[in-house]
Structures are given as structure tokens and as C-alpha cells.
């Protein structure tokens, strides 16, 4: 590829570039190729999945023991039969403990819980109520509080809307903000960059034309931003602040200083809308979400994809406080705007003015007209509940979470060791991703003149292309996430652990090749 072709490739999104790299690696590489680009975990949570299967099995066999194909779904008097059905296996004991925990914590009967779980797992009814199944909503809210929010006083007032992954949550929120005139063409929104690519790409779409204000973190500062950057939010023309926390690809959680600073700023900006995507929160031990310090301003997005290895299930959730700035801002719209919204929502409620913002998201997710069949599929809701319960039963020490953290920490260590780089042991570092500055690495190994040569003679993407072609290693280009050129993202999530040392060595080997070429020419 010549420089011009490489320039064209650089104009694609990071995930699209990654697809090209995979094709190249498959074509050219002599050795098995390693895709260390994607954040898709290569582990799964087994307990909750086995428990889900047991619920399905019980629901389909308890009323009739022969294996008929047409079966009536049990609706009453299930508790005794279910308790008889359970064995001493770890999975069944998890179900039993879960049942007892939910009964005690939320003061609901075992029968009511089983009804929701069995009907939900079998998927024989529309999601009713459509936003979230009643007991499931309380369990998911409690889970979010335990892993992200850590303020029990907020649990009862935190409402949830499960969605088809964090992806759908993000799309739905953008859509409802726009439809309800809370974000309009030309509005300014701030983001903590570098950031997960869709947050940069969606506002660029013609229908939004939003202006981004970077609240930037840099490698120089170990991907932690200076809390002073948040002063930018004092500008009253900035309508919203979109956050990925802990960040992707920077992999850092907001510091206590940053949370305090944001809280201060909100005293002067009580109208600021915040969206926080806390998908990586559980990978930081003492994590606290922005939602905890600004519940009235914040929509929280979470996904079960990463921690539980469940990207194929599509399990996400939006959480909002019962009293929030989104509902308040709806009251301040012009009478024409209110009139338009009255028309928009009058087919689903007789009092459209009081339809909460979170419920508007639900209605909009199905183009309003199909609100009555909206909501996440019930088996997906029950899967979210079971994943949540694996944590809720282990509040003081969750061995699954500890194992997941340990796994990525080991991979991070092996990678950094092979690259001969110092590890960032800051407890706010999730270690889920590593950003490597290729030019700085070149400078450290072979000096400034060589790093300058690399910058000037080659397109930044050239390094990723060579790495894919000659070494069969795929990494993600950081530029799509808003980093400067030459930053590449390694994911510690999706390769077998023994491969991370090799990834590090192969990165250095490509640098060696460039250096050999450089020495020949100089």
C-alpha cells in the first residue's frame, strides 16, 4: 500500500480499519494471527448461564414428566415443586440462595419470584410492564448500586430500563434527547476524550451536528485528565457531558478529585445533562460512578457484555433517578415544542406532559406506535437478573470478579514486560486496555532521530499494517477514539493469556524492522 492508499484507510472508523487489518493478516501472515484489537472478552460467567438453563428445564418439565412438545407453562403453586427439583449442585444451590436473598431483600414471596423467573426465562409473554419486569427491576437496580454507585440510599429511587446491550442504550438516549428537543442541531456537548468511537461518530452524523468539547486525558498524565479541564463545563452553552468511566481506550476511572470538581461545577450548572457509560466500572475495586455524586443530572449506561463475557446476549441497561434534570428540562420547552411532544406521545398516554423521560426512551425505542410491545426480551431480562445475583450473593468478596480482574492484570503484566515498559499500577487503572504510543516507544528504544523518521516517512497506519502483515497481530488504531496519531490500543480481554508476551515481542520486532530500514538509508 502506498501513502495515499494508507491515507484513505485512515479515514475509516477504528473498527472498520480493524476489519481490513484482519483480512490482511489472514492473507499474508505465515503464523496464526492474534487479534488483540477487540474488547470482546474470551471468558464467560458459567454459573448464571447454567442457572438459566435449570430454570428453563424446570419450567418445561414440572407439570408433565413425559417429553411432549406442546407444554402448558406453569403459573401457580410452583414453590414446593421447585424446591424439590433443586439438587445439591453448585448451580442449584446458587438458585436456592438467590431465591432466599430476593425474598428477604425485597419482601416478595418465592412464588412471585418464581413466576417472574420461569415465565421470563421461557419467554411466553410480552415484557409487562414494558420498561422492566417488577422484581427484576429491583434486582438490577441493587446490582448497579453495589458495583457502580455505592450509595444504598439511591437504590429505591433509581429506575432501570434494560436494553439490547449498551449499544442500544446509547442509540436510544441520543434519539430521545433529539426527539424531545433537549439536544438540537448545533448544540455543544462535551466528552472525556479519548473515548469509545460511537460517541465521537454519532454526533458527527448530519442529524445531530453537535459540537464536541474535549475534556482531554493524555498519556503524559497516564490517561487521567486534569480536573481543571472540567472548568470547560462552566460554559452554559454546553448542554451535555458524555462520559465513559472508566475510560475506553484510556482505561482510567475518574479520580476522587475529578468527582469532587464535577460536583462543584454542577452547583453552577444544575441544568447540565450527563450521560455516563460505566461498562468497565466493576474492573476497578473502589469505583464510584458520576451518577453517585450527580444522580439528578445523570443517565447511567451499563452493559453485562464485558464482565460476564456476554456480548452475544446483548444485555445492557439505562438507569435514571426518579427526579432528574431531563424531566425538569422538558418543563422548560417552548409551548410549540410541548405541543409537538403532546402529539407525539398522545397515542400512548392520556397525559403526555407527565410521561417521564425514561419512559419516553422506551416509547421512542419502538417508534412510539409499538410502545405496547417495547421492552427487552424477558429471557434477556432474566439473564441480567442472574448475572446480577452472582454478585449480590458475594458482596464482601466476589470470587468471579476477582478472577476476571486477575486475568486481565496478568495479561497486562505480560504485555508490558515484553515491551519493557513500566506498568501503571494506579488502582484506577482497569488494565482492560493498553494504549501504546508507537513514536514514544521508537524514541525510547532507538532515539529521537529514528522516531522523527518514522513519523515523517510513513503514515501512522503503516505500523498497524506491517504488524498485521508480517507478524499477524491486529491492534486498534487510537485515532478513531480521539488519540493523537501513533497511539494504538491493545485489548487484554480477548486473547489466550500466553499470547500477550508474544504480542509485545512482535510489536518490538516490527520496530526493529523499521530501524534496520532506517539504518540502511542513513
Ligand X SMILES: *Cc1c(COP(=O)(O)O)cnc(C)c1O
CB of 224 to ligand X, least distance (A): 17
Show the binding pattern over residues 149-168: x = contacts ligand X (CB under 6 A), - = does not.
----------------xxx-
CB of 477 to ligand X, least distance (A): 16
* Residue from 179, 187, 212, 277 in contact with ligand X (CB under 6 A): 277
Looking at beta carbons only, is 146 or 303 nearer to ligand X? 303
Looking at beta carbons only, is 352 or 379 nearer to ligand X? 379
- Rounded to 5°, the CA angle 280-16-456 comes to 100
The upper half-sphere exposure of residue 272, i.e. CA atoms within 13 Å in the direction of its Cβ, equals 33
The DSSP code sequence of 412-473 is HHHHHHHHT------TTB--SEEEEEHHHHHHHHH-HHHHHHHHHHS-THHHHHHHHHHH-E
Looking at beta carbons only, is 18 or 311 nearer to ligand X? 311
* Residue from 158, 248, 365, 388 in contact with ligand X (CB under 6 A): 248
Grid cell 493524555 — which residue?
218
Looking at beta carbons only, is 287 or 345 nearer to ligand X? 287
CB of 328 to ligand X, least distance (A): 26
The candidate with the shortest Cα–Cα distance to 490, out of 420, 450, 438, is 438
Looking at beta carbons only, is 42 or 156 nearer to ligand X? 42
Burial class (CB in 10 A: 0-12, 13-18, 19+), 286: exposed
Looking at beta carbons only, is 94 or 241 nearer to ligand X? 241
Rounded Cα distance between 95 and 134, Å, is: 19
Looking at beta carbons only, is 191 or 468 nearer to ligand X? 191
Site for ligand X in 340-369 (CB under 6 A): none
The upper half-sphere exposure of residue 374, i.e. CA atoms within 13 Å in the direction of its Cβ, equals 24
Q: How many CB atoms lie within 10 A of CB 139?
A: 26
CB of 276 to ligand X, least distance (A): 10
Looking at beta carbons only, is 279 or 415 nearer to ligand X? 279
CB of 347 to ligand X, least distance (A): 29
Looking at beta carbons only, is 195 or 454 nearer to ligand X? 195
Show the binding pattern over residues 189-208: x = contacts ligand X (CB under 6 A), - = does not.
-------x------------
Structural contact between residues 207 and 229, judged by C-beta atoms closer than 8 angstroms: no
Name the grid cell of 137.
427491576
Residue 477 is classified by DSSP as E
CB of 259 to ligand X, least distance (A): 18
* Residue from 51, 191, 244, 428 in contact with ligand X (CB under 6 A): 244
Q: Pick the piece of the chain touching ligand X (CB under 6 A) from 41-49, 287-295, 299-307, 373-381.
A: 299-307
Site for ligand X in 95-134 (CB under 6 A): none
What lies within 8 Å, CB to CB, of 419 at 6+ separation is 436, 441, 504, 507, 508
Total residues at the site for ligand X (CB under 6 A)? 14
Name the grid cell of 503.
504480542
Rounded Cα distance between 55 and 406, Å, is: 31
Looking at beta carbons only, is 306 or 506 nearer to ligand X? 306
CB of 277 to ligand X, least distance (A): 5
Residue 39 lies near ligand X (rule: CB under 6 A): yes
Q: Pick the piece of the chain touching ligand X (CB under 6 A) from 118-126, 128-136, 290-298, 300-308.
A: 300-308
CB of 316 to ligand X, least distance (A): 4
Handedness of CA 137, 143, 147, 151 (dihedral sign): positive
Residue 378 lies near ligand X (rule: CB under 6 A): no
Residue 283 is classified by DSSP as G
CB of 160 to ligand X, least distance (A): 14
Rounded Cα distance between 133 and 112, Å, is: 12
Residue 483 lies near ligand X (rule: CB under 6 A): no
Q: Pick the piece of the chain touching ligand X (CB under 6 A) from 77-85, 298-306, 387-395, 504-512.
A: 298-306
Region for residue 107 given its phi and psi (left: phi exceeds 0; alpha: psi -120 to 50; beta: otherwise): left
Q: Look at residue 195 and give its three-state secondary structure.
A: coil
CB of 19 to ligand X, least distance (A): 17
Rounded Cα distance between 7 and 459, Å, is: 7
Burial class (CB in 10 A: 0-12, 13-18, 19+), 496: exposed
What lies within 8 Å, CB to CB, of 42 at 6+ separation is 309, 493, 494, 495, 496
Looking at beta carbons only, is 195 or 436 nearer to ligand X? 195
Looking at beta carbons only, is 38 or 239 nearer to ligand X? 38
Strand 476-477 relative to strand 487-491, pairing: antiparallel
Show the binding pattern over residues 503-522: x = contacts ligand X (CB under 6 A), - = does not.
--------------------
Show the binding pattern over residues 302-341: x = contacts ligand X (CB under 6 A), - = does not.
-x-xx----x----x-------------------------
Structural contact between residues 131 and 161, judged by C-beta atoms closer than 8 angstroms: yes
Q: Which residue ranges make up the site for ligand X (CB under 6 A)?
A: 39, 165-167, 196, 244, 248, 277, 279, 303, 305-306, 311, 316
Amino acid at each position: 500500500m502506498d501513502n495515499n492508499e494508507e491515507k484513505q484507510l485512515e479515514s475509516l472508523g477504528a473498527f472498520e480499519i480493524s476489519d481490513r487489518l484482519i483480512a490482511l493478516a489472514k492473507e499474508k501472515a505465515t503464523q496464526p494471527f492474534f487479534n488483540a484489537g477487540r474488547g470482546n472478552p474470551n471468558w464467560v460467567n458459567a454459573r448464571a448461564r447454567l442457572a438459566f438453563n435449570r430454570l428453563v428445564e424446570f419450567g418445561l418439565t414440572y407439570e408433565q414428566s413425559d417429553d411432549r412438545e406442546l407444554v402448558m407453562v406453569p403459573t401457580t403453586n410452583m414453590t414446593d415443586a421447585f424446591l424439590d427439583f433443586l439438587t445439591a449442585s453448585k448451580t442449584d444451590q446458587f438458585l436456592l440462595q438467590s431465591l432466599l436473598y430476593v425474598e428477604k431483600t425485597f419482601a416478595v414471596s418465592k412464588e412471585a419470584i418464581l413466576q417472574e423467573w420461569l415465565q421470563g426465562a421461557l419467554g411466553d409473554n410480552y415484557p409487562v410492564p414494558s420498561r422492566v419486569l417488577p422484581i427484576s427491576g429491583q434486582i438490577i437496580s441493587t446490582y448497579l448500586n453495589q458495583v457502580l454507585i455505592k450509595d444504598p440510599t439511591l437504590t429505591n429511587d433509581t429506575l432501570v430500563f434494560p436494553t439490547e446491550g449498551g449499544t442500544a442504550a446509547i442509540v436510544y438516549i441520543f434519539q430521545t434527547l433529539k426527539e424531545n428537543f433537549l439536544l438540537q442541531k448545533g448544540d455543544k456537548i462535551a466528552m472525556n476524550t479519548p473515548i469509545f468511537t460511537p460517541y465521537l461518530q454519532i454526533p458527527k452524523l448530519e442529524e445531530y451536528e453537535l459540537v464536541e468539547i474535549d475534556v482531554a486525558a493524555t498519556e503524559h498524565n497516564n490517561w487521567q485528565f486534569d480536573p481543571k479541564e472540567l472548568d470547560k463545563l462552566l460554559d452554559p452553552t454546553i448542554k451535555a457531558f458524555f462520559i465513559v468511566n472508566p475510560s475506553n481506550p484510556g482505561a482510567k476511572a475518574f479520580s476522587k478529585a475529578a468527582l469532587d470538581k464535577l460536583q462543584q461545577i454542577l452547583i453552577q450548572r444544575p441544568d447540565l445533562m450527563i450521560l455516563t457509560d460505566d461498562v468497565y466500572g466493576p474492573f476497578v475495586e473502589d469505583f464510584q460512578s458520576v451518577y453517585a455524586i450527580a444522580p439528578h443530572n445523570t443517565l447511567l449506561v451499563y452493559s453485562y457484555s464485558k464482565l460476564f463475557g456476554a456480548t452475544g446476549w446483548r444485555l445492557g441497561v439505562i438507569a435514571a433517578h426518579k427526579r432528574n434534570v431531563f424531566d425538569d428540562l422538558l418543563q422548560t420547552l417552548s409551548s410549540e415544542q410541548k405541543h409537538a411532544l403532546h402529539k407525539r406521545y398522545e397515542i400512548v398516554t392520556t397525559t403526555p406532559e407527565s410521561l417521564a423521560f425514561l419512559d419516553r426512551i422506551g416509547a421512542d425505542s419502538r417508534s412510539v406506535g409499538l410502545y405496547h410491545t417495547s421492552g427487552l426480551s424477558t429471557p434477556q431480562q432474566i439473564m441480567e437478573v442472574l448475572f446480577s445475583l452472582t454478585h449480590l450473593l458475594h458482596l464482601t468478596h466476589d470470587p468471579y470478579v476477582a478472577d476476571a480482574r486477575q486475568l486481565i492484570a496478568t495479561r497486562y503484566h505480560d504485555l508490558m514486560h515484553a515491551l519493557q515498559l513500566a506498568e501503571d499500577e494506579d488502582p484506577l487503572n482497569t488494565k482492560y486496555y493498553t494504549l501504546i504510543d508507537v513514536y514514544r516507544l521508537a524514541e525510547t528504544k532507538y532515539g529521537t532521530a529514528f522516531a522523527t523518521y518514522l513519523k515523517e516517512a510513513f503514515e501512522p497506519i503503516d505500523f498497524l499494517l506491517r504488524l498485521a502483515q508480517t507478524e499477524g497481530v491486529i491492534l486498534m488504531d487510537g485515532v478513531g477514539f480521539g488519540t493523537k496519531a501513533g497511539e494504538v490500543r491493545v485489548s487484554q480481554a480477548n486473547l489466550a493469556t500466553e499470547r500477550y508476551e508474544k504480542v509485545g515481542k512482535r510489536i518490538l520486532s516490527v520496530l526493529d524492522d523499521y530501524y534496520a530500514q532506517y539504518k540502511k538509508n542513513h
